[in-house]
Amino acid sequence: MRILHLAPRLSLRGGADQYWLSLVAGLEACCEQRLVVGAVDNTAQTTLPTRICGALNARDDAVVELDMELRWKPDVIHIHNVVNPWLLNWAHSQPAVVTIQDHRYFCPGRGKWRAGKSRCNTCMGRAGEGDGEPCVTCLGNRSYFEQLSDLTWRRFEALQGLRLTVLSRYMRDELVALGLAEEHVAVIPPFVQDWPAGAAEDPSVLFAGRLVESKGVFDVLEAYDRVDLPWPLVFVGTGSARSALEGAGACVLGWVDRAALGAWLRGARVLVMPSRWQEPFGIIGLEALSLGTPVAAWESGGVAEWHPGGPGLVSWGDVDGLAGAMGRLARGPRAKAAVGFEREVLMAQMMALYEEVAGTC
């Protein structure tokens, strides 16, 4: 089978990037593959034929030239988290699978997290309609809201009738609540890639991910201050909150490669995940469990679908509960890997979807 993958970038700097590249790696033994990406950086390498097309990075309508790849006659075109409405509409004429990994198709704002710091449980509204008003509040500017609302609705409406995959039941339910047919949305979560061999770093209380408010980095600081632990708090990652965290005296390592991340996860006494936005899945938590590191997390988005529960899963927004969970888990036994996320099972589900899509065109 020939698979053409379209993605915004070739990178290993985020969970979304790692997910689609893990699929590519899993398909190498059974499929011919080509990649077209919007941009590349120096974090990911591939031996597959790859072309850069900047329009795949576009937030709004932009024509993506794919004549060369279409002459190759792919059996399936897999579109990974591309938010260009033009491409989503074009996909209706192709044997296409679209994977959605974030909120930009069903939330015009902050990832189902209100500006007033509360969780959003409402479907997005339309500009000019009464039920759109909560979204105006989140974005803070009516003109900006109207522009972003129109763009988000165009993306969502372009999904109608396409075969979609999402990472969690949470994401499926959000799309179905807005009107997508449930039978068109397959939940195929990510699996953990093999870790490079290596020793563990010294024990720590660890946060790993984008250093932004929506990931709860300041809640991590606050919770850590409320619990007496002998291990240092370490942040792995980078983002707009980095300077503020460093100013507060936090140890911030910046972005690290996969071997180094594995070493920090192996050594960590607990990984902390108080995501304020509704987490589409939260693969870093699944990765931590695979190395025996327990996870103290808020119930956010799809987190409960892989988290083992118990004292480590705390009500969203509860900083005291998070502090308590950090203390109990850090002093407790190592964790067990989550069950139900085996590579072979999930790759078989994706291959079955590919064969179905290829067979209907």
The pLDDT of residue 222: 97
d(CA 182, CA 175): 8
Question: In the prediction, which pLDDT does 285 show?
Answer: 97
CA distance 265 to 268: 5
According to DSSP, the residues that pair with 5 across neighbouring strands are 35, 78
CATH (domain of 187):
3.40.50.2000
**pLDDT at position 201:** 96
* CA nearest neighbour of 104 among 122, 82, 89, 126: 82
Distance CA(316)–CA(325), nearest Å, equals: 13
Element (H, E) at 34: strand 32-37
In whole angstroms, what is the distance from residue 37 CA to residue 57 CA?
A: 8
Tokens of 349: 């589900």
In a shared domain, residues 47 and 177: yes
Looking at the domain assignment, is residue 79 inside a domain?
Answer: yes
Give Cα separations from 298 to 216, 250, 318, 329 (angstroms).
10, 21, 8, 14
> Residue holding tokens 């009738």?
161
Task: For residue 146, tell me if it sits in a domain.
Answer: no
Same-domain check for residues 41 and 186:
yes
Low-confidence residues in the chain, pLDDT < 50: none
In 3D, which of 270, 267, 272 has the Cα closest to residue 330? 270
Q: With contact defined as beta carbons under 8 Å apart, do 263 and 198 qualify?
A: yes
Largest CA distance in the chain: 62
Q: Are residues 29 and 168 in the same domain?
A: yes
Residues 169 and 62 in one domain: yes
215 shares a domain with 187: no
Task: Indicate the number of domains in the chain.
Answer: 2
Assess whether 35 and 182 both reside in one domain. Answer: yes
Residue 319 lies in a domain: yes
Residue 120 lies in a domain: no
Give, in degrees to the nearest 5, the angle at Cα 162 between 159 and 164.
Answer: 85
Residue 335 included in any domain: no
Same domain, 165 and 264: no
My answer on whether 178 and 56 are in the same domain is: yes
Residues 292, 352, single domain; the answer is no
Task: Mark whether 224 and 318 lie in a shared domain.
Answer: yes
Query: Would you list the DSSP string of 243-259?
Result: HHHHHTT-EEEE---HH
Over residues 134-158, the pLDDT tens digits come to 678 777 778 888 888 899 999 999 9
Amino acid at 187: V
Domain check: are 99 and 28 in the same one?
A: yes
CA 38 vs CA 113, 155, 277, 302: distances in Å: 28, 18, 26, 28
Whether 154 is covered by a domain: the verdict is: no
- Give the structural domain span for 233: 205-330
pLDDT confidence of residue 126: 78
Residue with tokens 């034929």: 49
Instruction: Please give the model's pTM, rounded to 2 decimal places.
Output: 0.94
Specify if 127 maps to a domain. no
Structural domain includes residue 41: yes
Three-state secondary structure call for residue 179: coil
* Nearest alpha-carbon partner for 286 in 308, 316, 306, 266: 306
Enumerate the β-bridge partners of residue 98: 79, 164
* 163 plus 295 within the same structural domain: no
301 Rama sector, left if φ>0, alpha if ψ -120 to 50, beta otherwise: left
Q: How many CB atoms lie within 10 A of CB 210?
A: 18
At 159, the amino acid letter reads L
> What span, in angstroms and rounded, lies between the C-alpha atoms of 223 and 208?
16
Instruction: Write the burial class of residue 132 (CB in 10 Å: 0-12 exposed, 13-18 middle, 19+ buried).
Output: middle
**What phi and psi, each to the nearest 5 degrees, are found at residue 321?**
-65, -35
